[in-house]
Structure 1
């Protein structure tokens, strides 16, 4: 594990594996880099995969309390790329990580070759909020309640270690609360038109935490975007739908600038 220094000198734990074009993975709310599990391993067969722990999560320090916003978390992601000696990378963000990725693409347009967004949103959207049950499960942090919202039962049964790792990132209640607030307060709808990177939007049709209308609006706001609706998938399609790996590879091969 390596350390990058954030703009406030917070220590950000990061790691890389594989070789080829760099691909930065940005995890979701209060989720450590280990949560990418089998997806990171599969992608590392084709790319130099760079992962990191958000501030307050896993091996990263808390840093300043005022820097828990999606836009400032994007500055952390940029610091990780700098530490990895990467000027530009493909960027894959899941859930809150997708929100962070929005700002990375907006504030560092030349640093994002292509953008992959999974199960995410540009901010609050009337009529497309999480269901009451989904929100209560998210707030509870109860793995038994959350698992069906994220993963297909058969995948979770076949991958107990990956599921446990995903839901059990090391984080204090202090950090978790700030991650929750950062994700909830995200609002980039008016700025998404500034994203220049070719963008692949992956979204499950059964996502109760981020309902499908969010992805449709993302597609409308991001000019160079492609939307793939994944039938029956929930919020964790970045893990339990391995076919997305091939889709991402094909998209990058077709869209990445030379």
Structure 2
């Protein structure tokens, strides 16, 4: 089980799968590498997949310190690449993972080949925030109600019903790492909320694909054209009918074009 050491000494757990050019997969806020379990194999069939547990999650260290921010998460990823002996990689980040990926590409362009930003936002005053009804649903006192609200933000009702019928009690890996201490969960939330990469986006040189579900209310779809317009020469892929976890529910629509984008020849 490999661990990289971050700049502050925190141990960051990561995994390697497959073979070929390296591809980093970055999970969302308060989630670990299991976020990618449903689709990892498809990417590992074409690339050497690197996925990791963000600090505060999974097998990584969980310091109760002021080291949780999207730029610092990006430095954690660079520590993982260094430890794995990888100089340069494709990066695919979703949700908060997409926010982390923005800093990697903007601040360390020599380390990023191609960039995919999924269901994410530039943050700050330019980002489009989720509506008050979504925030209210996620702050209910009943944990079962919160879980249900989160499921319905991630997936369509029809797909959820099919899943629950076919696999009663199945585990969903996009609902957060249940083993996280409360302080780490709060620090993840704060890190994501404080993200503001608007001024940095124009520095991104990597060919970039912005992917978003058209029915995403958790991270509103309006963020996709903002990112695509701000990042030089970025292109957009909208997944019709998809909510926040488009990469899982709509894998049959979303995975192939992402793979095709990543597999294009290197830019001159």
Q: Same fold (TM over 0.5)?
A: yes
Note if 1:27 corresponds to 2:35. Answer: no
Note if 1:250 corresponds to 2:245. Answer: no
1:76 — aligned with what?
76
Q: 1:127 to 1:87 in 2, by over 3 A?
A: closer
The answer to whether the 8 A contact 1:203-1:229 is kept is: yes
Distance, in Å, in 1 between the alignment partners of 2:265 and 2:119 is 21
Q: 1:80 to 1:64 in 2, by over 3 A?
A: farther
- TM (normalized to structure 2)? 0.90
Where does structure 1 lack aligned partners over 5 or more consecutive residues? none
2:175 — aligned with what?
167
Q: CA offset at residue 154 of structure 1?
A: 4.1
Larger % of helix: which?
1
Summarize deviations over 1:93-146 as a string: whole Å, max 9, x none. 010100000001111101100000100000134683202222234445732110
Q: CA offset at residue 42 of structure 1?
A: 1.6
Q: State the SS of the aligned residue for 2:262.
A: helix
Distance, in Å, in 1 between the alignment partners of 2:125 and 2:247 is 22
Summarize deviations over 1:191-225 as a string: whole Å, max 9, x none. 10000000010011111111122111101100121
Q: How does 1:17-166 map to 2 (within 5 A)?
A: 17-63=17-63, 65-125=65-125, 128-139=128-139, 142-156=146-160, 157-158=162-163, 163-166=171-174
Note if 1:5 corresponds to 2:5. Answer: yes
Q: 1:164 to 1:61 in 2, by over 3 A?
A: same
Distance, in Å, in 2 between the alignment partners of 1:143 and 1:84 is 36
Q: What CA RMSD, in Å, does the superposition of the two structures yield over aligned residues?
A: 1.9
Distance, in Å, in 2 between the alignment partners of 1:139 and 1:191 is 32
- TM (normalized to structure 1)? 0.93
My pick for the range that moved more, 209-218 or 155-164, is 155-164
Where does structure 2 lack aligned partners over 5 or more consecutive residues? none
